[in-house]
Amino acid sequence: MLKLIYLTVLFLYGVIAQNCEDDSQGQCSATTSAPFDQTKNWNSASSIYDFHATDIYGKDVGLDKYRDHVCIIVNVASNCGFTDVNYRELVQLYEKYSEKEGLRILAFPSNQFGGQEPGTSEEILNFVKKYNVTFDLFEKIDVNGDNAHPLWKWLKTQAGGFITDDIKWNFTKFIINKEGKVVSRHSPSTDPLQMESELKKYF
């Protein structure tokens, strides 16, 4: 009798183990990985692909859509002394390399420097029409301080600035490689076309 009970238990254990092995949904797993919380855990991100942001049309965008692309991430403003040259040259780079090499540009309006981006999303979109901007624009954010977007908090830890890591002004530019890692940071006074030779190394 005891032998029969023992064999029955062994049989049932084998069935359960096999079901767990065949469970394509992973329902028998003891643990599941929690989604990345960028607000709390931004500092533990491994690449830009861990983040998401709201685009200028109000749509939430996972930055993993930029996987395998070289990217420029830049904070922009409409009324800055650097506005004209940066928009013109960013558009030139994008038109030259977006199709051929997969370059992507992520532009984040910010009003933190001299109040030079005071407009609404609609007003910003109307402004950039004069430059024929077709690269990706996001909603207006803070890039410094406690309310800074988590992506920008992380970017600053990956490539520090002069004296402090804070963004110093509009049009600070980060180059991101195809693995989603920050490879360089460029000051507002660096014109986009000055980065062209470096970009070519990562295509």
The reply to whether 66 falls in a domain is yes
Burial (CB count <10 Å: 0-12, 13-18, 19+), residue 87: buried
Q: What is the mean pLDDT of residues 97-122?
A: 99
Q: Are strands 60-62 and 182-186 parallel, antiparallel or unpaired?
A: unpaired
Domain that holds residue 107: 53-198
Q: What is the CATH number of the domain that holds 173?
A: 3.40.30.10
The reply to whether 153 falls in a domain is yes
The reply to whether 46 falls in a domain is no
pLDDT > 70 in the chain, percent: 84
Cα(105)–Cα(98) distance, integer angstroms:
9
Q: Please provide the size of the chain in residues.
A: 203
- 31 has pLDDT over 70: no
The reply to whether 79 falls in a domain is yes
Give the pLDDT score at 4.
Answer: 43
Cα(197)–Cα(115) distance, integer angstroms:
33
Q: Is 80 designated active site?
A: yes
The reply to whether 98 falls in a domain is yes
Give the pLDDT score at 32.
Answer: 53
Give the pLDDT score at 5.
Answer: 42
The reply to whether 6 falls in a domain is no
Question: What are the respective helix, strand and coil percentages of the chain, to the nearest 5?
Answer: 40, 15, 45
The reply to whether 41 falls in a domain is no
The reply to whether 30 falls in a domain is no
Query: Per-residue pLDDT tens for 163-172?
Result: 788 999 999 9
Give the pLDDT score at 28.
Answer: 41
- When divided into structural domains, the chain yields a total of 1
Which residue of the set 20, 28, 71, 80 is catalytic?
80
